[in-house]
Amino acid sequence: MTAATHSTLFSQGPSGSSAPASPSGADEVLEGLDPEQREVATALHGPVCVLAGAGTGKTRAITHRIAYGVRAGILQPSSVLAVTFTNRAAGEMRGRLRQLGAHGVQARTFHSAALRQLQYFWPKAIGGSMPRLVDRKIQLVADAAAACRIRLDRGELRDVTAEIEWSKVTQTVPADYPLAAARAGREAPRAPAEIAQLYSAYEDLKRERAVIDFEDVLLLTVAILQDRHDIAEQVRAQYQHFVVDEYQDVSPLQQRLLELWLGDRDNLCVVGDASQTIYSFTGATPDHLLDFRARHPGATVVKLVRDYRSTPQIVHLANGLLAQARGRAADHRLELVSQRPPGPEPVYTEYPDEPAEAEGAARRIRELVDAGVPAGEIAVLFRTNSQSETYEQALADAGVPYQLRGAERFFDRPEVRKAGIALRGAARFGGNDSLLDDAVDLPSQVRAVLSGEGWTPRPPAGSGAVRERWESLAALVNLAQDFAAARPGATLADLVAELDERANAQHAPTVQGVTLASLHSAKGLEWDVVFLVGVAEGMMPITYAKTDEQIEEERRLLYVGVTRARERLHISWALARSPGGRPGPRPSRFLDGLRPGTAATGGRGAAGGTAGVERGSAGGPAGTAPRRTRRTPARCRVCGRTLTDAGEMKLMRCEDCPSDMDEGLYERLREWRAVQARRSGQPDWCVFTDKTLIAIAETAPEDERELVRIPGVGMRKFNRYGADVLAICAGRGGDGLDEES
């Protein structure tokens, strides 16, 4: 298993050491790059957008870009900030930059960079000591639930926590959650009004305990940079060149932070692939990537489509998947071109049931390992973590070591441990348990016991931890059915012994083993051989994917899975969950027209995926991007002097020029703002800053057009507060103000 495509560019170090030597100069940094990667590396000025398909060497391109700029003396190392989304990716970037001789460049996650700035500027901007940062917010959510007298099980706690995180990165306050969740089509784990209540209580608890969470790190940094022009300028003086990796995954909050770091400059390079957007449930959106050229008309756009990772056969399948896609991301898909020698065709296998599918995969993996393929270069990828148990057991039975990535071992999961305790108790004292009175055989006994742990005959609606918990319990129910079929007359005690034996076997050390991982946790990784399992309707796409957008994200998830494979790809599905079960699922619709003997479900024309460079136009022929319009200097509306201070630009006058502010209106606006802040659980300045309120009180806008034009308002805040503000300006009060007065 490796983290990214990487080929050695430079000769070995002294004494034949495997560590490559750093390039001797700037020109050597460019050696070994393909033409498009070289374009990325040498495009050091102005906005640059790199559209990089899977396996095309995007990390290589951007690290060489930074290194070339540093080694050529164009970029000062301390002035460059490269941001990405995981500590692993940031660490890998730092390592590559050191290897290329670009020492001193900051490569961090968004949160790490923001936390560093927040810690440094807190005494100056806020005063005193910064609140303690909580690593895990789930206990706070549990305390908030207790304060609200709402009972949440472990799964619901995790799901409500995820909803709070989504709300914060999309800048949704508690009062707005129900409407925002409905608009986003989110499957809430509880009633939206309850989640809004829990979210509000959670924010109250944080304030009482003087703690902040990871989303607050971004929110507070944004707030300081918005309201403290001097601090923003200090940050901008430090960092003058920005590189953002995985740009398709930025949230609205991260985008806002990036804009504040940039100010009115455009030395920004973003890298991403809309076809690998698979985290929309966390607030990520590819819109910022897709809109980059519109926001920066003069941008240079480079497309990387030479795939160095996968064979032509695998790349052909990946391109075919996207050729049938719909939606905005599909309109910008890249047509990959493999740079590797031909390999075997992908293998498609249909099995009668899921245990047979797992045994078949384990058997093939055993053959590969015996033939010399390292176990660490093989992966089994599935849609949900609940599928892992069957493959854990099949690999253990085949004597193949494995390692789980991004998930707890099946028998370590809290719901499985708790279910095991309940089954063990029933095996010992079942004669006195009324739950088992009507249970006539082992499977019905297990169903009866697990019904007390949350198992139901039908799966719960929606996704998240509640669904995963149910899937884990359902796996135990299915295991009991299989065990009873294999050993007629087996008792509950026999099943418990079997479960204990399986759990003990799976705790054996597995240092170099086959990787078992969900498709989401496989992002950014690659293996020589990949087994994509459970590729059937109901699992791929997942049952609860209902809307067109959700279906398309499922297609992209399968695309990510396919593009993890370098040389061999095995795709399989089962027609039933258990042996002898009624056939149900059909192969995934995403494979129609791609696997032998099937017809396409309606494809699309080839994408604009040709490798190449599009440079920002200064006014070329029709259809090309226009030059970005120059901003008209802001001038004081009293004396006419050009304004440069952010606070003065908000007021549209010099600080010491006379003000015609309506003092009474200003006080009413301040009272209304205090009410809104208490409602949303935010500081006053998160509603509107003092400068913005002064500007409103001086302008006394009469309609939407006048209000939106005031710096610090904009459409987002107008949509939330505009009606109230206009009502107050018209002397009618406002809903929030009336409620408190």
Residues of each annotated binding site for ATP: 52-59
Q: From CA 670, how far away is CA 662, in angstroms rounded?
A: 12
Q: How far apart are CA 9 and CA 19, in angstroms?
A: 11
Give dist(CA 189, CA 184) in Å, integer.
14
Instruction: Evaluate whether 575 touches 350 at the Cβ level (below 8 Å).
Output: yes
A 10 A CB-CB count for 658 gives 9
Place of tokens 């997942």: 542
Residue 640 CA, chain-centre distance (Å), reads 47
β-strand 306-307 against 347-351: which pairing, if any? Answer: unpaired
Please report which helix (H) or strand (E) contains residue 287, including its range.
helix 287-290
User: Are the CB atoms for 134 and 213 separated by under 8 Å?
Assistant: yes
Q: Are 318 and 609 in contact (CB under 8 A)?
A: no
Instruction: Give the span between the Cα atoms of 477 and 51, in whole angstroms.
Output: 46
**At a CB cut-off of 8 Å and minimum separation 6, what does 121 contact?**
224, 228, 231, 234
Edge to edge, the sheet with strand 268-272 lists 106-109, 80-84, 241-244, 268-272, 48-52, 300-304, 612-614
CB-CB contact of 466 with 191 (8 Å) = no
The closest of 108, 75, 79, 80 to 93, measured between CA atoms, is 108
Would you state the structure tokens that stand for residue 538, as one six-digit string?
């109901």
Task: Specify binding-site residues.
Answer: 52-59
Could you tell me the maximum CA-CA distance found in the chain, to the nearest angstrom? 96
The tokens for 525 are 């990784």
- Integer angstrom CA distances of residue 260 from 37, 221, 239, 318: 29, 10, 11, 37
> What tokens appear for 708 in the block?
């939106």
DSSP 409: -
HSE (side-chain half, CA atoms, 13 Å) at 528 = 11
Strand partners, 642: 635
Phi-psi category of 372—alpha, beta or left, where left has phi over 0 and alpha has psi -120 to 50?
left
Q: Which residues contact 128 (CB under 8 A, 6 or more apart)?
A: 122
Which structure tokens are listed for 264?
A: 């009115």
Distances (CA, A) of 367 to 223, 528, 531, 568: 58, 15, 14, 14
Rounded distance, CA 110 to CA 310, Å?
Answer: 30
Of 27, 20, 87, 79, nearest to 245 by C-alpha is: 87
